[in-house]
Amino acid sequence: MNAPAYEALPARVVFGAGSVARLAEETDHAGLRRVLVLCTPTQRGLAGHATAILGERAVGVFEQARMHVPLATISDALVVAAELGADGCVAAGGGSTIGLAKALSLRAGLPYVALPTTYAGSEMTPIWGLTEDFRKLTGRDRSVLPRAVVYDPELTATVPAATAVTSGLNAIAHAVEALYAPDSSPPIAAMAERGIRDLVEALPVLGTGTPDAATRATALQGAWLCGTCLGATTMGLHHKVCHVLGGLLDLPHAETHAAMLPHVAAFNLPAAPDAAAAVRRALNAPDAAAALSKLVTESGAPSSLAELGVRRSQLRAVAEETLITPYANPRPINRQDLLHLLEKAWSGTPA
């Protein structure tokens, strides 16, 4: 008998336009008194805005967050946090910044409040990742969940269209994989389907570069739901391949998810009919994988690994690394299958 179990993760979420004004209140609620604000170099303006709201609670800014969370970046941030006597952080930005906050929480027990500006939803997951020696290591630990997430659609108004679109496709990948995860459940299926639908509605408008406030709110809601799904289920082939591509080849995270999404879906969904039906409903399309291919292409996101700079000669190394420690998957995959899948993703052949 299949009896799925659903375990809700602790989450405090503040959602709505202007909610960034509650940032100081949320750090107080989390018991944080000396906060280090984290960001990437391009998000220095947002970090300054957060610092102004935090007032004397902010002890400094670390603006060197990097994609895939290199171990050296974690070490540098820990030194700064220690020097400033920080007792927690605010992660102001997208997945790179939130990934760094998770690493500091895991390594040094520094709690954080997340202030997301993209649509990937990683702030809702207990999944951490870091890169060392060209290998991306991942794990799952509740200690890396934020004390609070502040979703303010106003903060996403200036996000470049390409970033908005690829981060939204990244979130959709979370939900698609959650639908066929071995520990999926009715609540997860419901959230995944709604999250995909929200993002599919928002993506065409996000891609114009001038999305209205309602669309940005819909996209953030979709990111929240899709991230929650990933946080409550086991990752599969899609995430494993993307982690290998990111760690081994230093590919951009969200763009890699976008390029891989239709191809892994085409491989896995025939073995997961309930998941396939949910994706078809969310996309309002008769063929889930084909509709995902069309969504990626029409959104202007990278539709092939070749576009991201991957050389065909590198695919074999990616396959070998993926198969060393495979993730759970609804359909078994061998070396030949994986190479064929990667070839299709490399060339951008429609799924």
Looking at the structure, do residues 81 and 216 belong to the same domain, yes or no? no
Look at residue 218 and tell me if it is in a domain.
yes
pLDDT in tens, 263-289: 999 999 999 999 999 999 999 999 999
Is 4 within the bounds of a domain?
no
Average pLDDT over residues 209-236: 95
- Residue 136: what pLDDT? 85
**Which residue among 156, 174, 206 closes a domain?**
156
Give whole-number Cα distances, 77 to 42, 43, 141, 309, in Å. Answer: 17, 16, 20, 30
Q: Which domain holds residue 30?
A: 13-156
CATH number, domain with residue 104 = 3.40.50.1970
- Name which of 336, 7, 41 is nearest 188 in CA terms: 7
CA distances from 17 to 21, 24, 98, 151, 326 (A): 10, 16, 21, 8, 41
pLDDT score of 133 more than 70: yes
Whether 41 and 188 map to the same domain: the answer is no
Q: How many domains does the chain have?
A: 2
DSSP string over 162-183: HHHHHHHHHHHHHHHHHHTSTT
CATH of the domain at 176: 1.20.1090.10
What mean pLDDT is predicted for residues 151-168?
Answer: 95
pLDDT of residue 6: 83
pLDDT classification of 2: cutoffs 50, 70, 90: low
Q: Are residues 126 and 63 in the same domain?
A: yes
- Distance, in Å, from the CA atom of 218 to the CA atom of 189, rounded to the nearest integer, reads 19
**205 and 246 belong to one structural domain:** yes
